[in-house]
Amino acid sequence: MNALLEVEDLTVRLPVAGEPRTVLRDVSFSLDRGGTLGLVGESGSGKSMTVRTLARLLPDGADVRGTVRFDGADVFALRAGALRSYRAKDVAMIFQDARAHTNPVRTVGDFLTEALRVNDRMPKPAARKRARDLLAEVGITDPERRLRQYPHELSGGLLQRVMIAAAVAARPRLVLADEPTTALDVTTQAEVMAILRRMRREYGMAMLFITHDLELAGAVCDETMVLYAGRTVERQASKRLHADPLHPYTAALVRARPEIDRRVERLPAISGHPTTAYEAPDGCAFAPRCRFAEEECGAGCRPAADRTGADPVRPDARTARPAAAAAPAGTASTEEVPR
């Protein structure tokens, strides 16, 4: 078995105004050592909550069911000491807003060396040298000067590189990247992703990558998993998902992205608004927004479409692909085509 991370039937409920509300429902997936899995979906689909659950960073009162195993160990059964080691050495998280996750009154050097000194028992000079080396590895020039600066003195791109340096400092086996390029311009985004790819290859790290950008997930990740209303609706190899999506929601997402080689008057949009897990109706949560919905869609939950194993699973006959894939260049398609 080559799986580093195994998630099975993960369900999370959080207390809101005194009442438990479901934010994840029966999410299952696995991630191999050194592999990359993209999590995509609209806001409220459960992407960030999934990675926070994996790191056990949920608020008090959270009701978590299902299992999460890291290298065979039950993450939810870890005691305090083992949990500290898991977070410090095995798993690292890169947040989307670097400024919100750095201390504004402490220098970059303090931020980078603290974990090295506390977790690895490094002497201060050795930790500072390691911090300089880390900044150089992520492409930051004049690292000694940067160590003396405060977060507000760095641009968004530089500060995100600092976050990446902090994440890989302990050579973790798994990186949880929660939209690490959302607040960056396109050029800086490309630079940051190039750094992540290079460091992942050099250190042999697995990565769970959250993004709203299907194109970016396709370029970075081996496989992509699509979430909607706290459920998994589809998982495929990234290239195949773009070319041949199985679920109508995935097909709608693919159609809604702009393409540089095709001009259209208006991008097709998904009608309605995203639904959270606790707002989702019985049956298929996407049914109220789906043009292929039938009466039976509300009768039972549609299983996730998973074509990563040896035996492809097609949930039912209403799976869809973007009609634009078969449309002549320069024309716009306005609806998915059922198989």
CA distance 32 to 205: 10
- Tokens representing 134 are 């880390």
* φ and ψ of 39, to 5 deg: -110, 120
Of 1 and 94, the structure prediction assigns the larger pLDDT to 94
Return left, alpha or beta for 26; rule: phi > 0 is left, psi -120 to 50 is alpha, else beta. left
pLDDT tens by residue, 130-181: 999 999 989 899 999 999 999 999 998 899 999 999 998 989 999 999 988 8
- Tokens representing 218 are 């396709």
Q: Is the CA virtual torsion 99, 31, 74, 229 positive or negative?
A: positive
Model pLDDT, residue 1:
52
In this prediction, residue 85 has a pLDDT band, given cuts at 50, 70 and 90, of: very high
Report the interhelical angle of 156-168 vs 108-119 (nearest 10°): 10
Return left, alpha or beta for 72; rule: phi > 0 is left, psi -120 to 50 is alpha, else beta. left
Strands 231-237 and 223-228, by their bridges, are antiparallel
CA distance 336 to 339: 10
pLDDT higher than 60, residue 332: no
pLDDT higher than 50, residue 339: no
Model pLDDT, residue 335:
41
Of 206 and 284, the structure prediction assigns the larger pLDDT to 206
Tell me if 225 sits within 8 A of 235, measured CB to CB.
yes
Distances (CA, A) of 253 to 61, 227, 260, 320: 34, 11, 16, 11
**Stretch 73-101: mean pLDDT, rounded?**
92
Buried b (16+ CB within 10 A) or exposed e, 227-261: bbbbbbbbbbebeebbebbbbbbbbbbbbeeeeee
According to CATH, the topology of domain 3-221 is Rossmann fold (3.40.50)
* φ and ψ of 57, to 5 deg: -115, 40
Nearest to 167 by CA among 238, 119, 115, 226: 115
pTM: 0.84
Domain boundaries, the chain: 3-221, 250-338
Write down the mean pLDDT value for the chain. 85
CA distance 29 to 226: 11
Distances (CA, A) of 249 to 17, 40, 155, 304, 308: 31, 11, 36, 12, 18
CA distance 113 to 104: 16
pLDDT tens by residue, 272-321: 888 888 888 778 888 888 888 887 777 766 666 776 653 334 444 344 44
CA distance 50 to 64: 11
- Tokens representing 35 are 């592999």
CA distance 52 to 207: 14
Model pLDDT, residue 95:
87
Asked which of 16-20, 45-49, 180-184, 305-309 is least confident by mean pLDDT, the reply is 305-309
